[in-house]
Amino acid sequence: MAKAPRRSSSGSRRRRTPGRAAAAPAAPADRFFRQMVTSMRNGVLAVRADGTMAVMNAEAYRIFDLTPQPGDMGRPFSEVLQAHPEAVRVVASGFQLSHPPNRAELRLKPSGRVIGYTLAQVRDDRGQLSGVSMYFKDLTRVEQLEERERLRDRLAALGEMAAAIAHELKNPLAGIEVMAGLLRRQVPESPDAQTAIADIINEAKLANAIVVEMLEFVRPIRLQLGKTSVPAMLHNAVTMAESKARRGDVSLAMRLAPGLPAVRGDEHQLTQVFTNLLTNALEALNGTGTITITARAASPHEGRPFAPDVPQRPEVAIEIADNGPGVPADVKERIFNPFFTTKPQGSGLGLAIVRKIVDAHDGQIDVSTPPQGGTRFRVILPLSGTPADSE
């Protein structure tokens, strides 16, 4: 008598319901994801939109000198990282900035460690902001220190080269301007000659400006900190920007909050920051449009509604917005990079210097596109805590 065919295990699986078969691989995939994050040699943490901790791997705990607790995931991240308020501010800024920083550095004050970090915004399938992730590495290790030493050597060599170029070019450029001015006086009745001489002088001034910007970029920033009046600084920046770029029919509105405390900073260098931003706005508008300058005390937890206990310092937010053509998305990613420019005769150092000065003041700078179009730069600076004498 023939035996009935034995049911194979594969046959029994084929008779399972489709729903169960589809759900089975989910657990291994989730387990693999957790194992991958846990075994990464970089620190990884992620925060949900409500401010609760979603992910924090072992390397992150080690770098922050923290001991994992069973209830850490799901707690407010500001509680988990309460020993590092500077890190809390950085993570919280990821919900506020249009373009969170990439490859930036932060010193952890309790331990003195320096970490290199990248912030990224997590978005759901609808494009809504659902969280922020932070990837970081301990840069105090020996190989990182050696790499930074090599980088310093290269920057020092670049600085010496720039200084030598400046020394060699400044005198000839000054001579060209002087001789062109003398030549202009000798041919007052020739319009063509006057036009050509004016072009020579302008090109010599442009070359000199590029040399000066190179020196400013490679030279270490030395701040002379003091109480700086925001209104006085912005009025000076407007005057200087109008001397560098044609204003034409551009309408300029200044909206400054009354009684604004002074900024703690270097007045000369901060004026340079806003002069550069206003000059760029005037050049983008090309004689027609509107520029709006606003300054106000930054609201507590501004852009961070999920974590009311995030430690805050008194800050001022200064915005320069124009209704020009705007900045393309691919340009925004590189707009602060050295030597990147969209101008035919630009050096690509203006905004790099701006960011360098803002960073030296322990501030933040961000570029975005307002709903009505155009470009908006926002600079956040720490306040001195007392009103300026000139206000």
| Domain at 226-387, CATH class | alpha beta
- Cα–Cα distances (Å) from 117 to 100, 148, 298, in that order, read 11, 15, 25
Q: Tell me the two tokens of residue 303.
A: 């852009």
Quote the pLDDT of residue 77.
Answer: 95
212-240 residue pLDDT tens: 666 666 666 777 888 889 999 999 999 99
Longest dimension (CA), the chain: 125
Domain 143-218, classified CATH 2.60.40, yes or no: no
Quote the pLDDT of residue 389.
Answer: 41
Instruction: Name the percent of the chain lying above pLDDT 70.
Output: 77
- Phi and psi dihedrals of 296, rounded to 5? -155, 160
Q: How confident is the model at residue 386 (pLDDT cuts 50, 70, 90)?
A: very low
Listed range (58-62, 83-87, 373-377, 381-385) with the worst mean pLDDT: 381-385
Q: What is the distance between the terminal CA atoms of the chain, rounded to a whole angstrom?
A: 107
Q: Which residues contact 76 (CB under 8 A, 6 or more apart)?
A: 51, 52, 53, 307, 309
181 or 378, higher pLDDT: 378
Domain ranges of the chain: 40-140, 143-218, 226-387
Q: Tell me the two tokens of residue 306.
A: 């999920």
At 373, the amino acid letter reads G
Q: How confident is the model at residue 37 (pLDDT cuts 50, 70, 90)?
A: confident
343-360 residue pLDDT tens: 655 566 778 888 888 888
Q: How confident is the model at residue 181 (pLDDT cuts 50, 70, 90)?
A: confident
Listed range (188-192, 332-336, 365-369) with the worst mean pLDDT: 332-336
Which CATH superfamily includes the segment(s) 40-140?
PAS domain (3.30.450.20)
At 30, the amino acid letter reads D
Q: Which residues contact 159 (CB under 8 A, 6 or more apart)?
A: 218, 219
